[in-house]
Structure 1
């Protein structure tokens, strides 16, 4: 019988993050109070907004630094979600910083806000850099909005997002040159240097040093490319000492295949088989240029992989038995989890038609070997069972898995399907800590 940990890694990591942020909010408030009031109340409000904005920007960097300890416990989905909401806070705080500072100085000088902004940019060192940083952050925020994000290719969005790092550097230089709490207090200077150094260091470690070190150590190469169907292909990858690569079933890598014209393209794909220490396998559907080009990758091609990432693993189990729910090509991490999860497992595989059931033969063989139960649920979105229930409705789920409330549930598929399953699970009273969902819109 599998022994499950009573410690919930996700709750521990989330509590730790909020505690660190809360402690820094309190310290920044003290630094602001010690700096004393400004000549105009609006300037004081603007400075406090700027300090909190700087703190949240540093916190954002930590959220997307891809630090293994955090990522394994919260997952990139949740960290990216926190980053997104924190980003809205940064935008509003920086807007407030600009508006209140300019309005305050305009009150003191008797000039208009626009004229005062031009004067500050031309006469106060660091202000022009702050304006450039503000424009960059607003641009990145605009392209990160859901409407714009859906219209942009992942590579385009990612390239634009990199300008955030330039904005961070410009904003910090502005703070060094003209921040009141920074200029007048040795302790404040030490704090802000440590904060920004730690945040940027976390990014450097998680997104540069660790990937370079792992790729140098493991020297990944394509071993074989196997078509699974007209639109789906599996890529087998080998390397050195793969047994030391800390990858788990359910996780994904961000892959770069070092071929002419494609080495710059980074695409996230889940492992479609549990790591065995000898090879890695990804399976992808041709939904874009990156995934479509995999069919033409040659054996022997060097691979640069960032990861493993994701908290969609058996690490977060709370029950002895499990339900795995997959939709479309979202079956890839589910298939890998089926190899690793112990206890009794039920698999629900939702597809539009049986021809879309990727890796179905492997799932059947695994289920038979593991004593698991596999239900294939084909049909259009409006399809219903014999009792008139939609295939992923609470009624049908309860009929297929009678003890669903006493199982961990792992869900991976297109966002609409995942949302439908989550609603059904809530209606059935499945506790939140037993539900583990992976968003598959990015990695598809």
Structure 2
């Protein structure tokens, strides 16, 4: 696509993130109301309150599972408005909601039947698993969800390799299938009427269809259509390299400055490994460029890629784009290799811009010559801030000195997490309105 000069949204316009977020919450609330209606319409039909609570918890748990599939589907319309990092946060909290509702379902149902039969809860659960169709599958699904919930906690997540965590996480899809078949087998709420049955299958059809389209069909279609290949490998410094990529019909690829892709370079030893890298130049319809720092074996191997290597790219992802502008003027703050989406954004943004590039020393300022030429061409101000972490050179007093009208600008921020956290604190201290602050962390739902 040709580089788009993006003006800010009118002051009275609803922000895209608000529209998409409100829409998602409205969809969840509407479906919760429908589920409650069908549950009440069937009648409680239970011998005690525990069974009623257990069935209702199971229905809400199943609804949250369908909603979770929508969050992990990576649908472009949602992603470019909400952002993958925020969708991942919602995915995390929805996952814990599923865990607790399904656990409540199992406990209430087991104790409810135990109260009626006179059996102890353990023997009652064994009896249900042996005599009622679908219960054993439900137990297996709950065990999987408990394991996934345990490894998703912060304590375990910090100690597991990403590949291990992701492999365990994939079993959630098996849990979804097991839970769905259990619901079909014993879910009286959704077999009591043709309308309820049609609703249930439509709900899960949309949820599963979204995952199929977003995670499989769309990436396969785009890569078949665009036929991406490495055209050049350009070292930017001792540990940073730029990869130039060409392909077919790139003017039809809906990528914007600030977004990232999951890149797979189809070599014999790296085809299975996907890494998230931002575009370091605004898409122009002729080629794409990413710039990466060697932070592990995968990114270090990029330096040795050969021109002509096939590329499989999933995306574009991310809401760190000019779509969310609210002001005519901008401040772009980059730290280290976080300059890559900032450099691309500067190329696309219209209006006066100030760029602050924070690095430890001059030699760490990758793409600085490009950034300086681009800033000169667009009439932007560029500040290179160097030196050790302490004292904080992006403290409130320093920011207001460089950008006196900072509260009147959109602020785009990208860099290492400690730096981003410190700058966000400075922006709050300077009373920069939250809707004017734009940042995104590499984080993938599901």
1:31 corresponds in structure 2 to 38
In structure 1, runs of 5+ residues without a counterpart are 384-389
What TM-score does the superposition give when structure 1 sets the normalisation length? 0.95
Mapped partners of 1:158, 1:127: distance in 2: 27
Displacement of 1:425 after TM fit? 1.0
Mapped partners of 2:102, 2:398: distance in 1: 49
1:387 corresponds in structure 2 to none
The match for 1:392 among 386, 394, 398 is 394
The match for 1:381 among 389, 400, 407 is 389
The answer to whether structure 1 residue 439 and structure 2 residue 446 are counterparts is: no
Mapped partners of 2:395, 2:442: distance in 1: 20
2:357 corresponds in structure 1 to 349
Matched ranges for 1:3-14 at <5 A:
3-6=7-10, 7=13, 8-14=15-21
The match for 2:88 among 70, 80, 90 is 80
Mapped partners of 2:356, 2:169: distance in 1: 37
Mapped partners of 2:128, 2:304: distance in 1: 56
Displacement of 1:342 after TM fit? 1.1
Deviations 1:212-265 (A, max 9, x none): 110000000111112212211111111001011010000000111111132111
Deviations 1:291-323 (A, max 9, x none): 122122221111111111111001110111000
Mapped partners of 2:7, 2:133: distance in 1: 61
Deviations 1:132-182 (A, max 9, x none): 111112222222223333333333333322211111111100100011202
Matched ranges for 1:22-61 at <5 A:
22-37=29-44, 38-61=46-69
3-state DSSP of counterpart to 1:160: helix
1:428 corresponds in structure 2 to 430
Mapped partners of 1:36, 1:142: distance in 2: 36
2:404 corresponds in structure 1 to 402
Matched ranges for 1:54-203 at <5 A:
54-203=62-211
Displacement of 1:440 after TM fit? 4.2
Mapped partners of 2:437, 2:182: distance in 1: 44
Structure 1 contact 414–440 (Cα < 8 Å) conserved: no
**Which moves more between the two structures, 408-417 or 242-251?**
408-417
What TM-score does the superposition give when structure 2 sets the normalisation length? 0.95
3-state DSSP of counterpart to 2:231: strand
Structure 1 contact 350–378 (Cα < 8 Å) conserved: yes
Structure 2 contact 79–87 (Cα < 8 Å) conserved: yes
Structure 1 contact 71–309 (Cα < 8 Å) conserved: yes
The answer to whether structure 1 residue 333 and structure 2 residue 337 are counterparts is: no
1:386 corresponds in structure 2 to none
1:14/1:363 CA distance change after superposition, 3 Å: same
RMSD: 1.6
Structure 2 contact 6–349 (Cα < 8 Å) conserved: no
Select the structure with the greater relative contact order (CA < 8 A; seq sep ≥ 6): 2
Structure 1 contact 231–286 (Cα < 8 Å) conserved: yes
3-state DSSP of counterpart to 1:439: coil
1:439/1:3 CA distance change after superposition, 3 Å: closer
Mapped partners of 1:117, 1:190: distance in 2: 30
Structure 2 contact 334–356 (Cα < 8 Å) conserved: yes
Mapped partners of 2:40, 2:228: distance in 1: 53
Structure 1 contact 155–266 (Cα < 8 Å) conserved: no
Mapped partners of 1:117, 1:261: distance in 2: 48
Mapped partners of 2:443, 2:56: distance in 1: 38
Structure 1 contact 364–374 (Cα < 8 Å) conserved: yes
Aligned length: 437
Mapped partners of 2:387, 2:152: distance in 1: 34
Deviations 1:160-211 (A, max 9, x none): 2221111111110010001120232222211111111100101111111111
2:239 corresponds in structure 1 to 231
Structure 2 contact 7–350 (Cα < 8 Å) conserved: no
3-state DSSP of counterpart to 2:191: helix
Mapped partners of 2:23, 2:168: distance in 1: 31
1:318 corresponds in structure 2 to 326
Structure 2 contact 88–443 (Cα < 8 Å) conserved: no
**Which moves more between the two structures, 72-81 or 244-253?**
72-81
Structure 1 contact 414–439 (Cα < 8 Å) conserved: no
